[in-house]
Chain A
Amino acid sequence: MTAAWWFATWMMLATRSPQPQTLGDAIQDANAGKFAMAWTIGSTLASPLERTQARVYVLAHAGQLRAALAETNGGIALGLHDPWLLERSCALAISLREPELAQQRIRELSRFVERQDGGGTWGPAVAEHEPRLAELVERRRALSGASVRARTCVAVLGGLLLSVLGMASRLGGRGSRKGPP
């Protein structure tokens, strides 16, 4: 038996766990703050849905919210229309102040609730997000309103100034002195 054979055998034993690791293991490690380990476990899961769920869970618990949202979006774009992913995507979008995406996710989640869930599990989640989402939408509306006001004001006052400038320069040429000789 060659050294290469021994090395290959050791590698096989070292890399193969006695039992396949699960989504639960990834979650457990993430909860224990072992994020790199949890990520590695999550990335090796066979099911694309569980892989995405594990990664989202790990990233969100590690405070990497934008990366977690990117992961949920990636999963949903792959056709993984899972209520947990939709709910997480909605929550993350609200945290990152993205009302349009949060609204879209809450619509998708509501459709799921109507069709399959019957309001049991995911209905309260939808209800929980709605007030924060409404607040966010209102804020976005205020933002757009302020933007329109600012641009309109600049356009109106700018136009007014230009007209005054034009008038003053034309009238200035025709002015006649009325003062004392």
Chain B
Amino acid sequence: MTTAQRIPSGVVLAALAAGGACTMSIELAAVRVLAPWFGTSQAVWTNVIGVILVALSTGYLIGARLSSGPTPLRRLGIALLGAAFFTATVPFQAERVARWFLPHGLALDEAATLLHWGSLAAALVMFLPPALILGLCPPLGAEALQRARLASAGAIGGVVLAVSTLGSLVGTFATTYWAIPTFGLRATFAACAAVLAILGIGLCWIEQRRAIAIGGAIGMALTCVVESPAVSMPSGHRLLEARESRYQSVRVVETEELGAPTRKLQVNEGLDSFQSVWRPEPGLLPPGYYYNYFAPPAWLSPRAQRWRVLVLGLGAGTAWRVLDGALPPGCRLESDGVEIDGAIVQLGQRWMDLPGSRAELRAWGDWDGRAALVGLPGPYDQIVLDAYANQTEIPAHMASVEFFREVARRLAPGGWISINVGGFGLDDPVVRAVAETAAEALSARVLAISVPFSRNCMIYARRGAELPDPAEGAWTTGEARIDALLAPCAIPGTYGFFTPGGDAVLYDDRNDVERRQRTSLARGKTLP
């Protein structure tokens, strides 16, 4: 029996398909592995994709060299086992590697530069080895099939590329829509490692390398029984629940603030920022929380029996909770809340008293804020915009003239838009751009205030009505707790008006909000 006759083409093709699938799984899951420390910004995606591509191209070249040896099939089996080993170890080394490049306890603005370099370095350390070894597989598999004289070199190359790409396709969809949301990251890596190991063991067994096959099987079994470590919490914080949603790593942590338990919903890297906050009593939060500044519009408008609000970026419902406890007496909150990540809504219902079945408060999970506008015609008295990807990124499609025009169409006459923007002061490039964009869309001046004790600004715009001027008497409500919020924002320099016709206006077609956010974080580190 010759080698050509013994080559099991089905197993080789299965190995190549699995290699393609696992490459994509590793690539997609890699971003999620890095997310608790570095986030999932475009920079992190770019770094991961870059590392995987350079690893694959290097692997292809090395694989081409190795394929000229006498036993490409055996080498393919060993490569699969090696890739399985490195894939299985990713969850174990993740925190240690990430912490080496991003120490504990940093604030978001401090960590800004490290997020880029650190994520690149961590991606190189963790994902270069498995991706590079997976890159060895296609040339080794092609050579093995070619030696079996199954077809011409061109035909074999075509089949190998097709099978590998189809595997990648399956890996892409299965990872995002099934494996990570259903089983989590660790299980996804374990499943990839198991598939690669089984195929590697099979090929080694066929190639009469029983010792390697048995060693691989034992290694795989050991990896399965060792529990990978969970992400550690800073001191004083208690993890209530963590989940891998379709979009991000989400967790609810509890800490003690001003003598009361305080729960915060964090996504991805978290650092010192959060997406939602819960305190036992509804209503205004302690100073420093920007959510409080969603409350004044109802007080600065004519009294009504109901206040209709649309929240784009509901999170776990903090805006609702603040408004619910801080509206004028006799005024009832009616609201639609849109949140892109359904897992956040579920966590909010479980840990943060987000209403699940109140007719007047409707949470729309798994909806993009802009897409949801189509089904929410309004009219609303206030539209709250608090939509962030990761910690700092306002999605570009929710910061454009076209978007704000759509929002304005859903406002009742005299209705308010209140926009939370992270930024270091009124001259911050992001604050300026969003404010000028809203002003352009509404053809009216908008008001931006610097939120005390925070790095946030609140932008107010109105449809068909004048905004109160903090320099004048209209910037008071007669309600002590609301006036206490407004008073610090009446000092000259802590508020400003932006008018239409600015030079930082953002459109769907021309939108540099991501670059502005990077500039903002870099500027935040320089002193005023």
Chain A interface residues (CB < 8 Å from chain B): 33-36, 39, 58-59, 62-67, 69-70, 73, 93, 96-98, 101, 139, 142-143, 145-147, 149-151, 153-154, 157-158, 161, 164-165, 168-169, 171-172, 175-180
Contact = CB atoms under 8 A, between A and B. Distances in A.
A67 B471 CA distance: 18
Contacts of A145: 103
B484 A33 contact: yes
B102 A146 contact: yes
B4 A63 contact: no
Contacts of A101: 527
Contacts of B527: 69-70, 73, 93, 96, 98, 101
A10 B427 CA distance: 39
B70 interface: yes
Nearest to A171: B65
B60 to A, nearest CB: 9
B72 A64 contact: no
B425 A66 contact: yes
A154 B487 contact: no
Interface in B449-471: 450, 452-454, 470-471
A64 B488 contact: yes
Contact of B70 (A64, A69, A96, A179): A179
Interface of B: 2-4, 54-55, 57-58, 61-62, 64-65, 68-70, 72, 100-103, 105-107, 109-111, 113-114, 117-118, 120-122, 124-125, 128, 143, 147, 287-288, 424-425, 450, 452-454, 470-471, 483-484, 487-494, 527-528
A178 B70 contact: yes
A64 B496 CA distance: 14
Contacts of B100: 146, 149
B65 A154 contact: no
A150 B120 contact: yes
Contact of B124 (A36, A157, A178): A157
Given A161-B58, A165-B57, A172-B61, A35 B114 contact: no
Contacts of B110: 97, 139, 143
A176 to B, nearest CB: 6
Contacts of A73: 527-528
Given A59-B491, A67-B494, A150-B114, A179 B72 contact: yes
Contact of A164 (B62, B69, B122): B62
B68 A64 contact: no
Nearest to B61: A168
A151 B113 CA distance: 11
Given A67-B425, A73-B528, 11 more contacts: A62-B489, A66-B425, A66-B528, A142-B103, A143-B106, A149-B101, A150-B118, A157-B121, A172-B61, A178-B68, A179-B72
A56 B304 CA distance: 40
B238 to A, nearest CB: 23
26 contacts: A33-B484, A36-B487, A64-B452, A64-B488, A66-B528, A67-B493, A69-B528, A93-B527, A96-B527, A143-B103, A146-B100, A147-B113, A150-B101, A150-B114, A150-B120, A151-B117, A157-B124, A161-B58, A165-B58, A165-B61, A177-B68, A178-B69, A178-B70, A179-B147, A180-B2, A180-B70
Contacts of A59: 491, 494
B213 to A, nearest CB: 22
B490 A35 contact: yes
B192 to A, nearest CB: 22
Contact of B491 (A39, A66, A177): A39
Nearest to B483: A33
Given A63-B288, A157-B128, A146 B103 contact: yes
Contacts of B105: 139
Chain A CB within 10 Å, residue with most, of B57, B111, B528: B528
A172 B58 contact: no
A142 B61 CA distance: 39
Contacts of A67: 425, 450, 491, 493-494, 528
Tell me the dominant secondary structure on chain A's binding face.
helix
Nearest to B55: A161
Contacts of A70: 527-528
Nearest to A177: B68
B453 A65 contact: yes
A168 B58 contact: yes
The 6 lowest CB-CB distance pairs between A and B, nearest first, are: A63-B452, A62-B488, A70-B528, A168-B61, A63-B453, A150-B117
Contacts of B57: 165
Nearest to B113: A147
Contacts of A64: 450, 452, 488, 491, 493-494
A157 B120 CA distance: 11
B296 to A, nearest CB: 15
Given A165-B58, A168-B58, A58 B118 contact: no
B101 A153 contact: yes
Nearest to A71: B528
Nearest to B143: A179
A176 B250 CA distance: 53
Nearest to A55: B491
A147 B114 contact: yes
A172 B68 CA distance: 9
A61 B141 CA distance: 70
Contacts of B111: 143
A62 B491 contact: yes
A146 B117 CA distance: 9
Contacts of A69: 527-528
Contact of B488 (A35, A97, A147, A161): A35
A64 B110 CA distance: 19
A153 B124 contact: yes
Given A180-B4, A180-B147, A143 B114 contact: yes
B528 to A, nearest CB: 4
Given A64-B488, A168-B61, A154 B124 contact: yes
Nearest to A93: B527
A3 B494 CA distance: 38
A139 B487 CA distance: 35
Nearest to A100: B527
A6 to B, nearest CB: 25
Chain B CB within 10 Å, residue with most, of A34, A161, A165, A176: A161
Contacts of B470: 36
A111 B198 CA distance: 71
